Each structure stands twice: as C-alpha cells, then as structure tokens.
C-alpha cells in the first residue's frame, strides 16, 4: 500500500464533457470514442469506432490528447456499473468522445502521471466504489461526477509512479503476448483443417456431401430446467460464463438439475452447442461438451452420428461458420432447425477425421497451458494492484 499524501481527483484534473452529432454547421467528421470502445479490463478497443459529423466549434475544445482519461459516465448494467476508465494513447488523428463519457485531463504531469492515475481509477472501479456513486433514471445509470471528483488519490513521487506503471504494464504485456499466442493457435487449427479437408486436399472431390440434418441430430435445450430441483446433471444457460468465456469445452457447471426430469434437454458428450436466440448469436461462441449436460431453451445442440462424423471435425466446421449470417430477419435474432439442418458438410474418411482430432487435441493442450499462464499473470496483476492501491 502506498503511504503518501492524498489529493482530490478534481484538484488534479480538468473535466471535459463529451459530444455527439452536430446540429449547426460547419461540421467535421471525427472518430468518436464510445462506451463500446471500453474493454472489460479498461483498455481502449478501437475495432469499431464511430465516425460522426460534429460541430467544428465543439470539437475544437474536445479533441482528445494523449494521456486523456476517458470515463464512462452513463450506461452500465446490473452487473457492470458505470465508471470504467480508459487512457487515450493514439498520437495522430482527429478523435473525440461521446456525450456518454467525460474526459479527465491531468493539470500537471510533473505532479501525477496520467498512466498512474488511470491505473488507480481502474482499481477504484474494480472495488465497486463507482456503483455507490451512480444514479438510475429511465433504465440508464449515471455517474455522480461531483462525488467522483472528490476521490482521494495517493500521490507518491513521480519516480514511484513510473515504477508502479512499468511494473503493471510489464505484466499486461505478458498477458497480451499470451493472448496473441492463442490467436496463433486458432489460426493454426484453421490451417490444419483447411489442409486436411479443403478443396485442395487429397480425395476432396470423391467425398460425399450430406446435409447436417442427415448426419446429425438437432435439438434445443429444456425450457423447464430453470424450475428443476438440484441433481447430478450440469445445467448451462446461454448467459453463463461457461458459454461466454474463453473455454472451448463445457466440462461442468455451477448449477445441477435432476436428470430424470430433463431427459429431453440432455446433450451427450461430443455435442456442439451454441446460442439460438438473441444477440448472443452474433458472438459466434460455440462449445463442445465433454460431459452430459442440460441447457436452457436459448441453446441449440448439434449431435453428430459418430459413425459418420467425428465430434471434433463437426465442431471445427461450426467454428468456421458465421452463425449471425444465418439468422432470420426477426426483431430478436433466432436460429431454428430449418436454418442449420440444410447446411451441407463433406464426409471425409473417418481415418482422416481421427487424425485431425489427434492434432486438434495436441493444439488444445498447448492452448490450455497458455490459458493457465494467462490466469496466473492475471492473478499476479490483481495482486500487485491490491498492493499498490488497496
């Protein structure tokens, strides 16, 4: 824990409110950072930045500078309070921030480093303190910025601040490197799949092509499972971390239901499951069951005929498939058997499918080692954050 003077956040920074689409010309097209550009670990995600026509006059005072700390001022949810802080670190270009956010700009960087301040505010957010500073109106959560600016910030020497930032950043760099290795493994397994089963693979033209409904069983989860008593059958909902997390497999669950009362909703080992209703479809999350499970009604399972289709081959087939492109035009996206059943899949020799499964297992073993390392360094990061800012 840092033993040093503490100063109110409002005395260290100047607050600048965000903007949105302009109403009075002249206009200027700029990239606007929104809440959707905040990652869950409070880093800037620039994959989907909105280009907005804003008033030149307003943009002149709201152009982002390197070191600006963008605070999520409005939005949030029951499980995610407002108050996430990200630091802007892009040296070139015209960027601003939406009216659902505000910027804290450090007044004197010889007194406090923006990077240090962002780490402190991130830790403050992780403790849940911003949840106590939010109000809720018409379903929208708003951060009480006057209270927020009264947060007491520990201010050690600049050298100590640099040390803290460097230490935390070194851990984050390792996590990012490991995340990149996971992406490399994803690319590797796709490459192996294409080499063994793609159009240029040996015997491709001679393989039979059949519909998914011909070689698999399609079924939905059990609508009554929520009301079931505790039992020995793992129960998984679309919203569970089992499906939203990084894991590829469903191995167990925190909730169990009675097997006898949920026979219709049981998915056997080797089933590929994915969301069938709602926005979760667009996350393209698919999981492979390694134990028998029961799922909720928002989940679809594809159970292969194992004499024809190896579960790993089918699973990779679905990993390469964009489920969102199959959705109907309803207000709530939905997949049905009639969307999945007609899909065509080639039937390579089982011997080749088994060889692919062996390679898949080997690559997944590497994945699990890397994920274990990531978990260890995330634990270390949280520990060091506790040490410096608790």
How many whole angstroms separate alpha carbon 263 and alpha carbon 231?
13
Question: Do 114 and 17 lie in a common domain?
Answer: yes
Q: Global pTM?
A: 0.82
pLDDT over threshold 50, residue 241? no
Q: Are residues 264 and 135 in the same domain?
A: no
* Alpha-carbon span 143 to 161, nearest angstrom: 27
- Flag whether 359 is in a domain: no
Q: Which residue, among 341, 351, 332, has the nearest Cα to 278 in the 3D structure?
A: 332
Least confident piece of the model among 73-82, 203-212, 270-279: 73-82
Query: Rounded to the nearest 5°, which phi and psi values hold at 232?
Result: -110, 5
- pLDDT (tens digit per residue) in 317-374: 999 988 888 876 667 788 888 999 999 999 999 999 999 999 999 999 999 999 999 9
**Full domain range(s) for residue 118:** 6-155
Question: Quick check: is 390 in a domain?
Answer: no
CA-nearest of 191, 228, 215, 335 to 275 is: 335
266 and 145 in a common domain: no
Tokens of 291: 């134990």
What pLDDT score does 25 carry? Answer: 87
pLDDT category at 262 given cuts 50, 70, 90 is low
**pLDDT tens-place string over residues 130-173:** 989 988 766 688 899 999 999 999 999 999 999 999 999 999 99
Is there a single domain that holds both residue 123 and residue 53? Answer: yes
pLDDT digit string (tens) for 92-114? 889 999 999 999 999 999 999 99
122 and 225 in a single domain? The answer is: no
The residues, ordered by sequence, that sit 6+ positions from 286 with a Cβ below 8 Å of its Cβ are: 272, 273, 274, 315, 318, 319, 323
Same domain? For 143 and 254 the reply is: no
pLDDT mean over 185-192: 94
Number of domains, the chain: 2
| Structural domain contains residue 15 | yes
* Alpha-carbon radius of gyration of the chain: 25
In a domain, 250, yes or no: yes
**Which residue shows structure tokens 């700029």?**
30
Answer yes or no: is 260 within a domain: yes
CA 116 to chain centre: 25
Paired with 288 in beta bridges are 249, 272
In a domain, 72, yes or no: yes
Residue partners of 100: CB distance under 8 A and separation at least 6: 18, 34, 35, 72, 73, 74, 75
Give phi and psi for 302, each to the nearest 5: -115, 110
Handedness of CA 237, 242, 248, 249 (dihedral sign): negative
CATH number at residue 307: 3.90.220.20
User: Does any domain span residue 53?
Assistant: yes
Residue 289 resides in a domain: yes
pLDDT digits (tens, 9 = 90+) for 285-296: 888 888 888 888
């Amino acid at each position: 824990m840092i033993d040093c003077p503490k100063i109110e956040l409002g005395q260290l920074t100047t607050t600048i409110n965000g903007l949105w689409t302009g109403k009075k010309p002249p206009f200027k097209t700029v990239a606007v950072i929104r809440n959707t550009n905040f990652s869950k670990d409070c880093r800037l995600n620039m994959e989907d930045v909105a280009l907005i026509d804003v008033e030149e006059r307003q943009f002149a005072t709201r152009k982002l500078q390197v070191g600006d700390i963008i605070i999520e001022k409005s939005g949030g949810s029951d499980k995610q309070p407002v108050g996430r802080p990200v630091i802007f670190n892009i040296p070139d270009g015209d960027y601003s921030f939406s009216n659902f956010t505000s910027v804290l700009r450090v007044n004197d960087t010889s007194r406090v480093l923006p990077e240090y301040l962002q780490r402190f505010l991130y830790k403050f957010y992780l403790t849940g303190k911003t949840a106590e500073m939010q109000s809720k109106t018409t379903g929208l959560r708003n951060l009480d910025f006057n209270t927020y600016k009264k947060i007491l910030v520990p201010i050690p020497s600049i050298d100590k601040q640099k040390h803290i930032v460097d230490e935390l950043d070194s851990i984050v760099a390792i996590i990012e490197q490991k995340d990149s290795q996971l992406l490399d493994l994803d690319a590797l397994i796709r490459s192996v799949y294409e080499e063994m089963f793609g159009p240029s693979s040996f015997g491709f033209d001679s393989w039979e092509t059949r519909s998914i409904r011909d070689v698999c069983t399609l079924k939905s989860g059990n609508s009554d499972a929520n009301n079931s008593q505790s039992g020995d059958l793992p129960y998984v909902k679309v919203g569970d971390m089992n499906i939203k997390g990084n894991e590829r497999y469903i191995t167990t669950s925190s909730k169990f239901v009675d097997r006898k009362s949920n026979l219709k909703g049981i998915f056997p080992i080797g089933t590929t499951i994915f969301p069938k209703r709602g926005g979760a479809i667009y996350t393209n999350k698919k999981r492979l069951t390694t134990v028998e499970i029961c799922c909720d009604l928002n989940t679809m399972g594809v159970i292969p005929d194992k004499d024809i289709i190896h579960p790993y081959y089918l699973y990779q087939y679905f990993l390469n498939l964009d489920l969102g492109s199959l959705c109907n035009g309803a207000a709530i996206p939905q997949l049905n058997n009639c969307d999945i059943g007609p899909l065509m899949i080639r039937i390579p020799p089982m011997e080749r499918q088994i060889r692919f499964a062996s390679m898949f297992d080997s690559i997944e073993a590497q994945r699990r080692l890397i994920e274990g390392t990531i978990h260890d360094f995330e634990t270390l990061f949280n520990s060091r954050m506790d040490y410096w800012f608790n």
